[in-house]
Chains A and B, each alone.
Chain A
Amino acid sequence: MRLTVDALSARRGEDLIFKDISFTLGAGESLILTGRNGSGKSTLLRAIAGLLHPESGRVIWISDGAEDGMRAAEACHYLGHRNAMKAELSVRENLEFWQSFFGDFAGGQGMSIGEAAEAVGLGGITHLPFGYLSAGQQRRMAFAKLLVAWRPVWILDEPTAALDVSAESVFTALIKTHLGKGGIVLAATHQPLGLENTQELKMTGFAGVMESMW
């Protein structure tokens, strides 16, 4: 099981944000993206998730069960800045929808809704409309979405924004559990997540690329 990123470059408007980024992550490995605001962390993660057409390069997912030509995005969970939950629906309805819409990827199984809510520390409130929750609780519930359906690769874009210290430790524990099960994690973050066996990629933004180009 392997996620390979091969010479990926992406462009926003006229500017090349990053150029020729390559790395390979195997089971249980993680990659932390660091860098100041605007350095292209989110752009790289969106390109890997297949949400942004890369200027060049490709993202390849290799595993035993994978068919040829399968998009790498299908093996990924993406947690972006927005929570992808509907304020009008209850937390349970939201999670049930995503559980059934995602379906489990080959090689693992997701938790039940109750277990996932317990895992992020918000067991008793799944009946409330998502819009009633505080920003931190909403973020935790958005994270619970990753637990209800199995995907080997988690792409996390600033997962700990708007969270208190206890929630950060909960997230770190969940990420470690996922890595322990043979998952792969790519995260853009400012907080040290305290992971072992981690590669770090320091993004410099288009200024850095320009310097290296010229």
Chain B
Amino acid sequence: MIALLLRDVKLSVRAGGGALIGVLFFMTVVAVIPFGVGPDLNLLSRIGPAIVWIGALLSSLLGLDRMFQTDREDGSLDLILMQEHPLALTVLVKCLAHWLGNGLPLVIASPLLGLFMNMDEVAIGATMLTLLVGTPALTFIGAVGAAVAVALPRGGLLVSILVLPLAVPVLIFGVSASYAAVQDPAPFMPPFLILVAITMFFAVLGPLGAALALRNAGD
């Protein structure tokens, strides 16, 4: 299992891996917002956390369809399905590797993009923390979509559409926790803890659902 984790992380940073593409897309989305909205610094810092979160959500959707598809194309998925390891555990490891390769770079890039949006230190810290906790949930949810669409050619857009409704609560609680950190009356902990709960919930349900879909995708 460690071998699978290492292999997938290696693949995501080598040529053709999705790690850099996700970060570049994230930067593109967030960087054009100030040009579109105009030089109103107060407005930018007010919408900052939401924009950073939306950017992160869209870029994490971008790489999802490749999670199982590359393995299917070269035949590795067949061999993975045949092994004695519980499939849900294998999928969980693949999700973790996918998050390390695609999700974590987004979290690391987010403070820089926070500066673009004229956010103060507290807001940047809160956004980064909520992204750190929330993006794994996006990966776990996305694994189900990726597994369902694994046999479809050009299933990328379909995966995004399948996954988006389930990803919306993550966005809502991520953004509201980020805002709660800077706006005084709202408490930070309740939305943040709900975000943690969503992540843990999907950490269990996502791999189980994806494993079920992969088993039945047989062809």
**Chain A residues within CB distance 8 Å of chain B:** 49-53, 71, 73-74, 76, 78, 80-89, 93, 96-98, 100-102
Contacts and interface: CB of A to CB of B under 8 A. Distances in A.
A102 B108 CA distance: 34
Interface of B: 1-4, 6-7, 10-11, 14-17, 73-76, 78-84, 216, 218-219
Closest 5 CB pairs of A and B: A82-B75, A100-B3, A84-B75, A73-B82, A84-B76
26 contacts: A49-B78, A51-B78, A51-B218, A51-B219, A53-B216, A53-B218, A73-B81, A73-B82, A74-B84, A76-B82, A78-B79, A80-B78, A82-B73, A84-B75, A84-B76, A85-B76, A86-B11, A88-B11, A88-B16, A89-B11, A89-B14, A93-B10, A96-B3, A97-B3, A97-B6, A101-B83
A89 B10 contact: yes
Given A84-B74, A89-B7, A101-B1, 13 more contacts: A49-B78, A51-B219, A73-B82, A78-B82, A82-B74, A82-B78, A83-B74, A86-B76, A88-B14, A89-B11, A97-B4, A100-B3, A101-B4
A55 to B, nearest CB: 13
A84 B2 CA distance: 18
A107 to B, nearest CB: 14
A67 B17 CA distance: 40
Contacts of B216: 53
Given A52-B219, A88-B14, A74 B82 contact: yes
Given A93-B10, A98-B79, A86 B3 contact: no
A51 B16 CA distance: 28
A96 B84 CA distance: 18
Given A86-B11, A88-B15, A89-B14, A50 B75 contact: no
Contacts of A50: 81-82
Nearest to A142: B75
B9 to A, nearest CB: 12
A126 B119 CA distance: 50
Contacts of B83: 74, 101-102
Contacts of B76: 84-86
B142 to A, nearest CB: 21
A204 B216 CA distance: 27
A76 B79 CA distance: 10
A183 B70 CA distance: 31
Contacts of B2: 100
A53 B83 CA distance: 16
| B15, B76, B216 pick with most chain A CB within 10 angstroms | B76
Contacts of B81: 50-51, 73
A84 B216 CA distance: 20
B79 A84 contact: yes
B211 to A, nearest CB: 14
A101 to B, nearest CB: 5
Contacts of A53: 216, 218
A80 B4 contact: no
A97 B78 CA distance: 15
B98 to A, nearest CB: 15
A103 B153 CA distance: 32
| B17, B73, B78 pick with most chain A CB within 10 angstroms | B78
A81 B74 CA distance: 9
Nearest to A105: B84
A51 to B, nearest CB: 5
Nearest to B2: A100
A80 B16 contact: no
B7 A97 contact: yes
Given A84-B79, A86-B74, A93 B7 contact: yes
